[in-house]
Amino acid sequence: MGVEWFKPGVFVGSIIFALIGVLIFWISFLIIDKLTPYDLWAELIEKKNTALAIVVGAMCLAIGMIVAASVHG
């Protein structure tokens, strides 16, 4: 951790890659939500389906790791 983080190019690049990662994660989650036969949000919030919440949480972690690995290179 040196002085290179204070350079504007490095900081802006980090912000852009973070935004790209969040955007890819969000699009991936929307695609998976559309592929499932029911509304994930209603099932999680209204019906309080704990098992589905665990599966969706694991899916989010997996998508996040894939996006992080692809952005990191």
Positive or negative: CA dihedral 31, 32, 35, 37? negative
Question: Is the pLDDT assigned to residue 1 strictly greater than 60?
Answer: no
Tokens of 18: 């973070």
pTM more than 0.75 = no
Do 44 and 56 form a contact (C-beta atoms < 8 A)?
yes
How sure is the predictor about 73, in pLDDT bands with cuts at 50, 70 and 90?
low
pLDDT tens column, 11-66: 788 788 888 888 888 898 888 888 888 888 888 889 999 998 998 899 889 888 88
**pLDDT value for 2:** 64
